[in-house]
Amino acid sequence: MTDRRAEILGRLRRSLKAVAETPGRGEAVQARIGAKARGPVPARSDLPRREMVTLFVEQAEAVATSVARVAGDGEVPQAVADYLKGQNLPAEVRISPDPALEGLAWSEQPLLKVESGRARLEDATSVTAALAGVAETGTLMLASGPTAPTTLNFLPENHIVVLRASQVVGPYEDAWDRLRAAEGEGQLPRTVNFITGPSRTGDIEQTIQMGAHGPRRLHVILVEDEGQA
C-alpha cells in the first residue's frame, strides 16, 4: 500500500508540475483572478438602499433570525441586554475584541457582564460585528482576524451580530467587493463565514433540530446609520 500510494502521489506531482510549467499558464490564472468576474445577480436584490435593507430583514426573519433595529451605536448595549432578558438568558456576553464593539457604552448596563476575546466552552452568548449583510438571502458575512475570532460565531449557543444598515448589500458579489476593499488587493482573511439563520439539521427522522452544529439562536442588531438614506 505504501509503494502504491507513493506512485500515485508521484504521478500527481508530475502532472501538477507540467501544468505549472505550461507557457502562459501563470498569466492566464492571474488574468482570471484580476478580472473578478461576477456571477448572475438576482433582480430582486437590485433595489434602492432602504428597500434593500427591508429585503434583508424579511429574508433573515424567514430563516429564523430575529432582528432588532436601533437608531445608533449608543443603543446597542441596551438592545443586547433587552434580548438576553427577553430570551431569559444569563446577563453575560463574550464580545469580539473589536475596538468598535469594545468602545460601546457597556458600562451603562451595570447588570450585564461583558468580556472580550475568543469564545470559551462556558460562554452562552457571543456578540460580534458583521462585514456585510446580503439582502438576496438574509445572510451575514463575517471575516476572521485578530479582532474577530471565528470561535465566537459557532461555539456559544446564542449569537448576536451587530450590522449597520450601510453594510447591507444586494447580491453576494457586492459582499465580496466589500471584503476585497476591507482586506486590500490580493489579500483574504483566513476564514470567511456566510451565516444564514441559526444552525439546524433535519437528519434525524426529518425533524428540524436547532443548534446542531452551532448557535441555536441568531439575533441581528441592525444599526440605522447614514448609509441607509
Tens of pLDDT, residue by residue over 153-190, are: 999 999 999 999 999 999 999 999 999 999 987 788 99
Query: Higher-confidence residue: 51 or 40?
Result: 51
At 229 the pLDDT is 39
Residues 90-120: pLDDT tens digits? 999 999 999 999 999 999 999 999 999 999 9
- Helical H segments across the chain, by residue range: 2-20, 25-35, 49-62, 76-86, 99-102, 151-154, 172-183
The answer, yes or no, to whether residue 62 has pLDDT greater than 60, is yes
At 83 the pLDDT is 98
Q: What are phi and psi of 189, to 5 degrees?
A: -70, 165
Residue 140 is classified by DSSP as E
Query: Higher-confidence residue: 39 or 190?
Result: 190
Q: What residue segments make up the domains of the chain, in order of their start?
A: 1-35, 42-228
Confidence (pTM) = 0.83
The answer, yes or no, to whether residue 1 has pLDDT greater than 90, is no
What is the architecture, at CATH level 2, of domain 42-228?
3-Layer(aba) Sandwich (3.40)
pLDDT band at residue 148 under the 50/70/90 scheme = very high
pLDDT band at residue 203 under the 50/70/90 scheme = low
At 171 the pLDDT is 95
Q: What are phi and psi of 201, to 5 degrees?
A: -150, 150
153 CB-near residues (< 8 Å, 6+ apart): 126, 128, 142, 159, 193, 195, 214, 215
